[in-house]
Homo-oligomer: A and B are copies of this chain.
Amino acid sequence: MGVPEIVLGEGKSVEHLVGILRALRSAGLGAIVSRPSGSQLGAVPALLREGVPIRVLADGRILRLEGPLGVEYRRGRVGILTAGTSDVPFAEEARVVLEELGIEVTVAYDIGVAGLHRLLRALRSVERRRPELYLVFAGREGALPTVVAGLVHAPVIGVPTSIGYGRGGRGEAALNAMLQSCAPLGVMNIDAAVPAALFAAQHFAPTGPRRLRGVGPPRLR
């Protein structure tokens, strides 16, 4: 159908996922699997042996079935930032997906707003690559995307992460803070790293005619 297959590993049985991957392979298509479970990861060696080519990426949080994803993007530039070190695994999911879609990524991790000087230094360094768009990951109070959107002249997308305990924990405070930001942010759901990457990628979609028929956007399955 011409749309890239992004398969959510969560909530699928190993058999179900293996079936999907074999079917895509037979059809000559590639795919990205997000957040495979431990037992799904355990099925990879067997799949490799039977000739289904899969790469394990982002510390096992992303599987890449080799083959065309059926969608074209121009080579855009994205900056990915995180407030803390606990946000990094989510940021890495987004980085890997964007790179698989042919987009260039520059990262700066662990630059929370309680250490402004470090933040400014890191941001200046990322800006040198002139990202056209930023994905900013933050848990707890979720202030980093607001501060960044006050400093750069590019779209900033906030991705709250499920970091933090007590009231407002598990990303709730961060999500609401981003929705309430006094700077204009696009906001994703808590931990929604892959949707964030796909939304970012859409900014580099071709703008030519007839895109409504068949060559659609990525689909989460």
- Interface residue ranges, A against B (CB under 8 Å): 10-12, 16, 83-86, 112-116, 120, 123-124, 127, 130, 132-133, 140-143, 146-147, 149-157, 160, 162-169, 171-192, 195-196, 198-199, 202-203, 205-209, 211-212, 215-221
Contact = CB atoms under 8 A, between A and B. Distances in A.
Contact of A181 (B140, B155, B172, B176): B140
Task: Summarize A's interface: helix, strand, loop or mixed.
Answer: loop
Contacts of A220: 114, 182-184
Contact of A219 (B150, B160, B163, B180): B150
Contact of A114 (B84, B182, B189): B182
A48 to B, nearest CB: 24
A211 B128 CA distance: 10
Contact of A177 (B141, B165, B190, B205): B141
A178 B212 contact: no
A178 B216 contact: no
B179 A173 contact: yes
Contacts of A84: 182, 221
A147 B143 contact: yes
Contacts of A16: 85
Given A116-B147, A187-B187, A179 B199 contact: no
A208 B127 CA distance: 10
Contacts of A10: 165
Contact of A141 (B143, B202, B209): B143
Contacts of A164: 180
A22 to B, nearest CB: 15
Interface-centre pick from A172, A182, A215 (highest chain B CB count, 10 A) = A182
Contact of A166 (B12, B153, B189, B203): B189
B141 A86 contact: no
Contact of A199 (B167, B184, B205): B184
A178 B189 CA distance: 9
